[in-house]
Chain A
Amino acid sequence: MKDVIICRCEEVSLTDLEDAAKKYNCSARELKLRTRAGMGFCGGRTCRPAVDKVLTSITGEDPTNNIPLKVAPPVRPLSLSDLGGVNHD
């Protein structure tokens, strides 16, 4: 159970997150920067709730307080050619 992978993009396990959260007693954002959970290809859309949950269970941080994990556009990975409209001219 401890080897369960929370962030698949960056391969961060539950143990990694728990250890970092306990050691540094940090905010969600700091946890993300320390472990890279949520910084991979999918942009944290898959693991963000799980990362928040791990933190809530250890430090008691409410993800809506403090510094939350940021969600920034574009909301899903897309190629520069799509962004530039190469396929839609």
Chain B
Amino acid sequence: MTKRIIDHPVLGTIENERTVTFTFDGKTYEGYERDTIASALLANDVRTIRRHEATGNPRSIYCNIGHCFECRCTVNDVSNIRACLTLIEENMVVKSGDVQPDPLNPNNEGPLPRTYEEYAERKAGDTDENA
């Protein structure tokens, strides 16, 4: 809990907050009551909430007001929940998002053939190699 602003000139001080335990990707974390998932994770130095579906680059909060859906995660098996708007609850199970298989290229076997001729050519090449 080192990243928190404990004493704020306008918002006041944080003291005697009730702690709430939740898990994120299998690891247990503690946050304060009325923390959002995003703020609790940030306070625990977790900055990657999910990874981009195609490229796998890390993503975290961006707008932090529920507009951009960058911080979406899976909460108690409900997908696409915004971490910046959802308050943590006791024993909440939060999961991040990871790289998804490419629908056009499920086995990541390189560029797909664009025409049937290309496909037939490759197929012929494959059998030659195997023979």
Contact = CB atoms under 8 A, between A and B. Distances in A.
B127 to A, nearest CB: 36
Interface stretch (A14-22, A41-49, A50-58, A61-69): A41-49
Contacts of A9: 69-70
Q: How large is the interface on B (under 10, 10 to 19, 20 to 34, 35 or more residues)?
A: 10 to 19
Interface in B34-90: 52, 54-55, 57, 59, 62-63, 67-70, 72, 80
A45 B55 contact: no
Given A8-B62, A11-B54, A11-B57, A45 B80 contact: no
A8 B59 CA distance: 9
The prevalent SS among residues of A at the interface is loop
B69 A79 contact: no
Given A41-B72, A77-B80, A79-B80, A11 B67 contact: no
B68 A8 contact: yes
Q: How large is the interface on A (under 10, 10 to 19, 20 to 34, 35 or more residues)?
A: 10 to 19
24 contacts: A8-B59, A8-B62, A8-B70, A9-B69, A9-B70, A10-B54, A11-B52, A11-B54, A11-B55, A11-B57, A41-B69, A41-B72, A41-B80, A42-B68, A42-B69, A45-B67, A45-B68, A46-B62, A46-B63, A46-B67, A46-B68, A77-B69, A77-B80, A79-B80
Interface of A: 8-11, 41-42, 45-46, 77, 79
Interface of B: 52, 54-55, 57, 59, 62-63, 67-70, 72, 80
